[in-house]
Amino acid sequence: MDFIRYAEAAAALLNADMTDVDDLVAYLRDRDRPTDQATDRDCMLLRKFQRELRPVFEAGTAEDADAVVERLNELMARHPVTPRISGHDGDLHLHVATENASLAELLVGESLLGLATLVCDLGPNRLGECAALRCTAVFVDTSPNQSRRYCSERCSSRANVAAFRARQKAVAASA
């Protein structure tokens, strides 16, 4: 597994609408994954997982490294992950074992293994929530100087425009 890709997929999973199977299918299509296993039950389990996973990103936003680690450990205890070494495309790497796992369990396992590896390899301060007003999306910060604050280019430029307008207003008011 490319753990950064899996950690980013975990953030995308948390940001995804999971109201019904069509939403889950759309998420899987975005990731070039097969969609034929998706069920209502997977959606229900993934909605529950979204609620469990958000506090990990909230702790990241608060730069509470201990809480990030503690919450991820709690989630791995609640959702045991079975890693499996795979060599299907040359280099040996970790996958989550798929035997007897539902689609939801597989996505949860990949999310947790990806996030846990990211936290161990790059540090616990890599998870956050978008700083833009009225945006609750989460992100994985892979920038070299850990400076990411927004979920997307769109939110970043929206926030910059708002800050620029606020400065103009302040200048106009003081003139």
102's tokens: 């539902």
- Contact indicator for 82, 73 with CB cutoff of 8 Å: no
**Least distance to Zn ion from the beta carbon of 31, Å?**
13
Among 7, 10, 28, 130, binds Zn ion (CB under 5 A): 130
Interface with Zn ion, residue 115, by CB under 5 A: no
CA torsion sign for 112, 13, 31, 37 is positive
Q: Other CB atoms closer than 10 Å to residue 71's CB: what's the count? A: 21
Q: Is 18 helix (H, G, I), strand (E, B) or coil?
A: coil
Interface with Zn ion, residue 140, by CB under 5 A: no
Single-letter code of the amino acid located at 71: R
Please identify, among the stretches 10-18, 46-54, 66-74, 130-138, the one whose residues bind Zn ion according to the rule CB under 5 A. Answer: 130-138
Nearest to Zn ion of 101, 135 (CB atom)? 135
Interface with Zn ion, residue 151, by CB under 5 A: yes
Among 132, 138, 140, 141, binds Zn ion (CB under 5 A): 132
Residues paired with 96 in a beta bridge: 83
Please identify, among the stretches 58-66, 108-116, 119-127, 150-158, the one whose residues bind Zn ion according to the rule CB under 5 A. Answer: 150-158
Among 52, 135, 148, 158, binds Zn ion (CB under 5 A): 135
Tell me the C-alpha distance between 100 and 161, whole Å. Answer: 50
